[in-house]
Structure 1
Amino acid sequence: MASYLFYDIETTGLNKAFDQVLQFAAIRTDMKLQEIDRHLIGVKLRPDVIPSPLATITHRIAITQSKQGLNEFEAIKQIHQLMNQPGTISLGYNTLTFDDELLRFCFHRNLLPPYTHQYNQGCRRMDMLPITNMYYLYKRESLNWPEIEGKLSLRLEHLSTANHLATGMAHNALVDVEATVELARRFYSETKMWHYVTDYFDKESDRQRLEEIPINFHSIACSNRVGLMVSNELGSVNQYQVPVLLIGNSIPYKNQTLWLRLDLPQLRETTPDNIPETTWVMRKKQGELGIVLPPHERYWRYLSPERQAIVEENQDWLQSHTQLFHKIICYHREFSYPWIPDLDIEAALYQNGFLSEQEQALCHQFHAASLAEQIKLVTQFENIAMRQLASRLLCRNYPDNLPKMLTQDFADYWRRINPQNEAEALRDYKNQPRLTPLQALNEIAQLRSQAHLDNQQLNLLTELEDYIKTQFSVPSCEGEKSRLWGR
């Protein structure tokens, strides 16, 4: 039976590969948004995670509180099971750009299938933020739309306050889920609109709608269709939508369609040498962000006359510069993300590709085994990266009385998360550095000096500072060990 699983997470920070969940809340409803059950899972802080000071003063989860709950392995297994219940449509507010991807890395490092909740046994995903964008544009009477300092805000806490969606402090996982469910119920009262918008998150419906967009002209790559891409990242200044031109599919990432933005005058300044600087392509997978609308007048009228004129000029320019247009198409179709050398195994989900059937079976066997059996199974992974993931999993969650072959690898990893030289910090799949203890302490000092913090937030930062100094050996700015706190 199909159901919605509205969920929210509070985390140690914003790095999707290295940060962890501290709090997971979910409310399951039927397809008419009537509640079936709810869940609240507290997750114990891992010994190797350095919580972000900014995240700490935002969700206000104290270190003492974060030491309670289930260990990450047990908690993530429960979350994975909830999201993979047959027929589950998992969704939240802005979940597709953050929560879902962070959970994907959680699944990966805990030897769970990271993608099955997207497609297996009738499961799929949605996101309430782009749905909110659509209602703001085309069913504005559905809500009160808050303005903060004279500017529209679509932040969940502001929508909740303006429309009395939930009570309690924002950035508490359960409060945010309750607000999201109530928001969905307000939108569901416009039933026809609700079904129209949510069908954009169904792959087959989205595919059919894309194919129904009229063809404007033909190029060497494909039949070029013009539509309106709706996405929150475009901002209220663009009314959350821009005109785009289909230029084909990515070659290395075959499930991505490519849409060239048409309302930027610098497009006509393109030369063979500056394509990355003058062209903006948005990547889309079927059933996912963003929503592409047909160029009907009821949508197109949200573009100013000036933007509409730029679109016409750009289309004419592309058709009259066919060789250059071909180079633009080829550049974006052939583009692939750069290979990152020495990428840590926890951040290498996308770079290393899919597991073999044998590795998947061994992961399944690992989850069903006792701790003693899991220790033996570590050595059966032929893939070194998988062996390291399994080893770290046990050291983080069940550190007592483990054999030296496991603890030695974890000790090597521990040295890398607190490097002597900050330039040697672990990097994620976007080549961004993992937060180090020294960086966290510097951030605490900056927040104290710059931010307007209340007493609770100041106490949280003091507790976090003490924890970092106790848990980690912190290098000085010169790169040498200043002290060895509690290790």
Structure 2
Amino acid sequence: DPYTREWQNGNSRWDMIDVLRAARALRPEGIKWPVSEEGMPTLRLEQLTIANGIVHESAHDALSDVYATISVAKLVKEAQPKLYQFLMLHRVKSKVLELLQLGSFKPIVHVSGKYASTKNSLAIVLPLCKHPTNTNGVIVYDLSVDPEALITLSVEDIQQRIFTATKDLPEGVNRIPLKTVHINKCPVLAPVSVISSEDAQRLAIDLVLCRMNIEKLKVIAGLTEKIVAVFSGHSYSEQEFDPDLSIYSGGFFSEADKQKMSKIRSLSPEQLAKADFSYTDPRLPEMLFRYRARNYPDTLSAQDQLRWNDFCKNRLSGQQVGASITLVAYQERLQELRNNCECNKDIINALDAYAIKLSKSTEIKDVGVTIKN
């Protein structure tokens, strides 16, 4: 069951980057906050550890980064214990919902990388409604922006200004600041009372403007229905049809399916190839096939091998949604590293050889770039 690691035994994905953003913006005292060469604030781990005298011997080494992150978390806890405790307590869904208070027209502070670093990655937002297709989503509005567009624009125009990349919007057209807070992803939220008048001035937040925009939102007729239509009409269907990408968006698995899933790792590869689980969830047969192909390729039939090769080819060439990196982009990145980085050339050659092996095994004839020695 892919969900249990997320919640079992009190587990959660509490991302320290947003905790650090909150500490820097709301309670910066007690921590030295580094700036980049361009004079901009930075939360790069290696810079934070240097500024605060934290041992971080091998930046970007996975284990070293883990220890450094733990030390940075301790730093926040010691410097701002009340903030740390509040954010830790309110990382779970039940506490997040207490803060959101849908229908109350009560604003909250939302700290997230969704907001510009020039705005301290922070906004005062108003929770508006539940997301129509994501049970773990609550749609909020950034109160620093006049909501007039929500009144005058059609559902289709609003969708364009939300779901089109900023660089692709027509000149002079601004995004509409509707965001989705994912209550199951430990969002960093706080009551507006954490921002004093001095804090507001330091952070360039206009509290009066925010209150005025709340009053405007209150009187927009049919606002909830309009927003529901906006987000109902935006389709992520390509990704949702791929089981690898839909274990969190496609709903929970039934208890009957979970019991069958729990048996998978106890079976030998040969038993797994012959097993018939008769799942009720349409995602699971494809997930099981990919599990076998990735872990026990020798058990695939000739027909299954062709099916797997076709999947890999489409994923690596970018023809299928969900590719983390295509072969073309992979080799372009290797070329950049070879030209601009004092990297171990043997490692780059090995990575290049791996790409060539993949291209041959999947019959991708043109991967775009050939690495030059």
Bin of the TM-score, shorter chain as denominator length: 0.7 to 0.9
Evaluate the alpha carbon distance shift between residue 461 and residue 268 of structure 1 in structure 2; reply closer, same or farther with a 3 A threshold: same
Report the Cα offset of residue 225 of structure 1. 1.2
Whichever residue aligns with residue 470 of structure 1, its letter is K
- Distance in 1 (CA, whole Å) between partners of 2:134 and 2:17 is 25
Q: Residue type of the partner of 1:230?
A: V
Q: Is 2:158 the partner of 1:158? A: no
Contact 1:224–1:246 (Cα < 8 Å) also in 2: yes
Letter matched to residue 207 of structure 2? Q
User: Does residue 355 of structure 2 align to residue 465 of structure 1?
Assistant: no
| Deviation by residue 1:416-442 (Cα, 9 ceiling, x = unmatched) | 3455xx6xx2112xxxx5533234223
Specify the alignment match of 1:28 in structure 2. Answer: none
CA distance in 1 between partners of 2:90 and 2:252 (Å): 27
Q: Could you give the per-residue CA deviations for residues 237-271 of structure 1, whole angstroms, max 9, x where no partner exists?
A: 21232111121222322332221111024x32441
Structure 1: gaps of 5 or more residues: 1-112, 212-220
Q: Which runs of 5+ in 2 are unaligned?
A: 162-174
How has the CA–CA distance of structure 1 residues 312 and 353 changed in structure 2, closer, same or farther, with 3 Å as cutoff? Answer: closer
- In structure 2, C-alpha distance between the alignment counterparts of 1:477 and 1:206, rounded to whole Å: 46
Structure with greater strand percent: 1
2:331 aligned with 1:427, yes or no?
no
Question: 2:88 aligns to what?
Answer: 198
Deviations 1:376-428 (A, max 9, x none): 22575576753333233233223346544543432333443455xx6xx2112
Secondary structure of 2:334's match?
A: helix
Deviations 1:73-104 (A, max 9, x none): xxxxxxxxxxxxxxxxxxxxxxxxxxxxxxxx
The equivalent residue for 1:390 is 288
Cα 1:238/1:179, change in 2 over 3 Å: same
Q: Aligned pairs, how many?
A: 346
- Residue in structure 2 matching 1:264, options 125, 145, 160: 145
For residue 275 of structure 1, what is the amino acid of its counterpart?
I
**Cα 1:288/1:381, change in 2 over 3 Å:** closer
- Report the equivalent of 2:169: none
- The residue aligned with 2:59 is 170
Task: Look up the equivalent residue of 1:231 and give its one-letter code.
Answer: S
Task: Report the residue type matching 2:327 in the other structure.
Answer: P
CA distance in 2, matches of 1:142, 1:194: 13
SS of equivalent to 1:132 = helix
SS at match of 2:221: helix
Cα shift at 1:199: 1.1
**Residue 118 (1) aligns with residue 20 (2):** no
Distance 1:204 1:434, change over 3 A: closer
**Contact 2:142 2:178 (C-alpha < 8 Å) held by counterparts:** yes
2:256: which partner in 1? 358
Kept after mapping to 1: 8 A contact 2:91/2:187: no
The AA in structure 2 aligned to 1:412 is D
Structure with higher RCO (Cα < 8 A, 6+ apart) = 1
Cα deviation, 1:10-33, whole Å, max 9, x if unaligned, reads xxxxxxxxxxxxxxxxxxxxxxxx
Q: Pairwise mapping of residues 18-57 of structure 1 onto structure 2 (< 5 A)?
A: none
Task: Quote the residue 2:191 is aligned against.
Answer: 294
Aligned-residue CA RMSD in angstroms?
Answer: 3.3
Report how far residue 287 of structure 1 moved.
6.2
Q: Distance in 2 between matches of 1:405 and 1:390?
A: 16
Residue identity over aligned pairs, in percent, reads: 19
- Report how far residue 140 of structure 1 moved: 2.0
1:127 and 2:15 correspond:
yes
One-letter amino acid of the structure 2 residue matched with residue 193 of structure 1: L
User: 8 Å contact 2:87–2:189 — kept in the other structure?
Assistant: no
